[in-house]
Structure 1
Amino acid sequence: MPLQYMTQLILFISMFFYSLSPLLAKDTDTQVIKATSLPLAALAKGSLPEKGLCWEISKPGQASSYLFGTIHSEDQRVLQLSDSVRQKFDKASSLSLEIQMGDEVIEKLAGTLFLPDSENLILLLGKEDFKKLFQTMSQHGMLVNIAMRLKPWVAMMIVIMPKTKTGLFLDKYLQEQAKVQNKAIYSLESVEEQLAIFDSLSLDKQVRLLRATVKYLDNIPEYLENMHTLYLAQDLAGMEKLSNEMMKTEDPELEALNLRLMQHMLSKRNHVMVHRMQARLQEGNAFIAVGALHLVGKEGLISLLQQQGYQLRRID
């Protein structure tokens, strides 16, 4: 697989895991909801955020740090940080990301992408489903001899990955800016931890998820666009609602598999990230950037940080 696709794939896995995860197990024709504008509510202790991408994290005796929700997008409106967010980023001493992108990460990823020599996606899916799948994969520049060798979960991620023009997605942009400013850069997870979520699934379950995704290919662009619109509106509640709507399925086995994935992709990862960001929070003046939907929910990062005695204040 060309280097650019490995890079984009791991970026996508890292930053869009949760916001697109409902698509991985979608097996009904639920209509994609449209972007909505929700009222801003003050974030009292124990309450959950409705809007806001950047949050000040404070606790007596510690210098404030900042939590910022990202999206896997190269749209200039996304890359153009607000003046207040840009100020917090520029003044920060460190940047923490889900994972840092680099040659070492890409090398680790390369060894996990492909099926054994005895297997291929044509055999696993059948000719018709593979043909439909490859029509989308080819739009990302994939060659058929490479596409047919990919593990089912890898093929699944590629077909729901936004097409790239510049390759400068928000998470990558922040990392490059931090390097220019000589900030310390930290990872909250390892690439092995992220990839293990799917590699731990049996091949049969991976194929089941891929078949469900193939059925839903025509709806993915609309979903991506709606999620993007909600992000630009800083509408966390709307993003969460859209993901929850897309998670509904009439297949109980598929729903159980989806719930298992969600537990790993969201809840467990959030607890791990909160634990690993503690050193940065104690240092203070840290800028922590993770996928926006990690912020929301009862087991979201904002709620977990509140439970540890931190105060969260929205930065406009």
Structure 2
Amino acid sequence: MFKSLLSKALLLLPFVTAGAVAEPLVWLAKDSQRQFVLLGSIHAGDQGFYPLPQAFLDYWPEADGLVVEANILQPDDVTINRDIPTSDALLSNNDKAALVDIAKQAKLPYQSLIHSPPWLAAMNLQMAMATQAGLNPVHGIDIVLLRRAQEQQLPILEFESVSQQLALMENLPDHGEDILLSTIHDWSEMQSELNCLVSAWKAGDLQHLLSLLEDSQYSDATEEKLIFERNRDWASQLTNKASFQQGTYLIVVGAMHLLGEKGLPALLETQGFTMKRLTEGNKAQCE
């Protein structure tokens, strides 16, 4: 989600690479004056993520802008609030002992994790696992499309700034303790879950992605703050903001923001947009 995780190199992955075409979920939202093409992103990827669906790329030449969660290419100096309680202050002794072992597996320094806010420790652990699984932020959908838009001088619009995203994480219930606890308690299963998430994304398996969202171990309050509240804000921006009153826009946000009755497509439909799914998808080869 953040610049520190998503812009560690300057490599631009081209759209077209060898291999089978991924078929992630793409929706088209239309009203009389505008159309939004929505693609669910994973923030770290591999070359198997590309090329992106033609159903999405077909709209690139006529697009008036690329809309992302936050423009991580734009300078935005952020500083973590050091007054927030650290993981050391919030975790039980048993969870700290488990974190020692997990830090070794993740090849991350325990002291750095334990003295970080829980949300940041969880993010670093999850990114380390993604890296060990062969995923790289450089190949994440967001950064690839942002660099492509920058190269071609396609306007880039953002729902949030990086500073706003940092403030969001710092103000999660209990500073994201439930995210860290979920990461610690489910660590041994997370690798297979990550592989399954990637398979479901590539296949465009809507039902499997929905089940992953519904099986989340995060608290209801955290999910509301992290996913659903932001969905409502983004739908409001797309519907009401002057920037989006006319034209064609490519919308790229985390895949979980597009799912279910509280997802962005469903919210746009309630605002009078006609929704159409542009990719059929397939069943993911995982349980």
Q: Same fold (TM over 0.5)?
A: yes
Q: For the Cα contact (< 8 Å) 1:79–1:173, is it kept in 2? A: no
SS in 1 for 2:245: helix
Structure 2 residue aligned with 1:143 = 109
- Provide the rounded CA distance (Å) in 2 between the counterparts of 1:120 and 1:304: 36
Structure 1 residue aligned with 2:247 = 284
> In structure 2, do the counterparts of structure 1 residues 219 and 115 end up closer, same or farther at CA, with 3 Å as the change threshold?
farther
Q: For the Cα contact (< 8 Å) 1:9–1:158, is it kept in 2? A: no
Q: For the Cα contact (< 8 Å) 1:113–1:151, is it kept in 2? A: no
Say which structure, 1 or 2, has more relative contact order (CA 8 Å, 6+ apart): 1
Percent identical pairs in the alignment equals 24
- Provide the rounded CA distance (Å) in 2 between the counterparts of 1:302 and 1:243: 16
Q: For the Cα contact (< 8 Å) 2:41–2:253, is it kept in 1? A: yes
Query: Residues 98-247 of structure 1: matches in 2 within 5 Å?
Result: 98-102=69-73, 104-105=75-76, 107-108=77-78, 111-112=79-80, 114=82, 121-122=87-88, 124-125=90-91, 129-137=95-103, 142-161=108-127, 162-163=130-131, 164-165=135-136, 167-201=138-172, 206-207=176-177, 209-247=179-217
- Provide the rounded CA distance (Å) in 1 between the counterparts of 2:151 and 2:162: 24
> In structure 2, do the counterparts of structure 1 residues 266 and 10 end up closer, same or farther at CA, with 3 Å as the change threshold?
farther
> In structure 2, do the counterparts of structure 1 residues 126 and 10 end up closer, same or farther at CA, with 3 Å as the change threshold?
farther
Residue 139 of structure 1: CA displacement? 5.7
Structure 2 residue aligned with 1:273 = 234
Q: For the Cα contact (< 8 Å) 1:65–1:287, is it kept in 2? A: yes
Structure 1 residue aligned with 2:4 = 7
Q: For the Cα contact (< 8 Å) 2:24–2:204, is it kept in 1? A: yes
> In structure 2, do the counterparts of structure 1 residues 291 and 135 end up closer, same or farther at CA, with 3 Å as the change threshold?
same
- Provide the rounded CA distance (Å) in 2 between the counterparts of 1:233 and 1:210: 29
- Provide the rounded CA distance (Å) in 2 between the counterparts of 1:166 and 1:268: 25
Task: Answer with 88-97 or 122-131: which moved more.
Answer: 122-131
- Provide the rounded CA distance (Å) in 2 between the counterparts of 1:166 and 1:304: 29
- Provide the rounded CA distance (Å) in 1 between the counterparts of 2:120 and 2:37: 33
Q: Deviations over 1:66-86 (max 9, x none)?
A: 121112232222232122322
- Provide the rounded CA distance (Å) in 2 between the counterparts of 1:115 and 1:135: 27
1:314 is the counterpart of 2:277: yes
SS in 2 for 1:74: coil
Structure 2 residue aligned with 1:58 = 30
SS in 2 for 1:309: coil
**What letter corresponds to residue 255 of structure 2 in structure 1?**
A
> In structure 2, do the counterparts of structure 1 residues 101 and 214 end up closer, same or farther at CA, with 3 Å as the change threshold?
same
> In structure 2, do the counterparts of structure 1 residues 132 and 224 end up closer, same or farther at CA, with 3 Å as the change threshold?
same
Residue 218 of structure 1: CA displacement? 0.8
1:301 is the counterpart of 2:264: yes
Q: How high is the TM-score relative to the length of structure 2?
A: 0.77
Task: Answer with 158-167 or 131-140: which moved more.
Answer: 131-140
Aligned residues: CA RMSD:
3.0
- Provide the rounded CA distance (Å) in 1 between the counterparts of 2:37 and 2:118: 37
SS in 1 for 2:156: strand
**What letter corresponds to residue 269 of structure 1 in structure 2?**
R
**What letter corresponds to residue 28 of structure 2 in structure 1?**
E
> In structure 2, do the counterparts of structure 1 residues 201 and 84 end up closer, same or farther at CA, with 3 Å as the change threshold?
closer
Residue 292 of structure 1: CA displacement? 1.7
Q: Deviations over 1:252-279 (max 9, x none)?
A: xxx7xx0111111222111110122234
- Provide the rounded CA distance (Å) in 2 between the counterparts of 1:52 and 1:74: 13
SS in 1 for 2:40: strand
Q: Deviations over 1:72-115 (max 9, x none)?
A: 2322222321223222124312100011103633x31xx21656
Q: Deviations over 1:48-82 (max 9, x none)?
A: xxx9621222112x143312111223222223212
> In structure 2, do the counterparts of structure 1 residues 265 and 144 end up closer, same or farther at CA, with 3 Å as the change threshold?
closer
- Provide the rounded CA distance (Å) in 1 between the counterparts of 2:137 and 2:49: 14
Q: What is the number of residues matched between the two proteins?
A: 257
Q: How high is the TM-score relative to the length of structure 1?
A: 0.70
Q: For the Cα contact (< 8 Å) 1:188–1:277, is it kept in 2? A: no
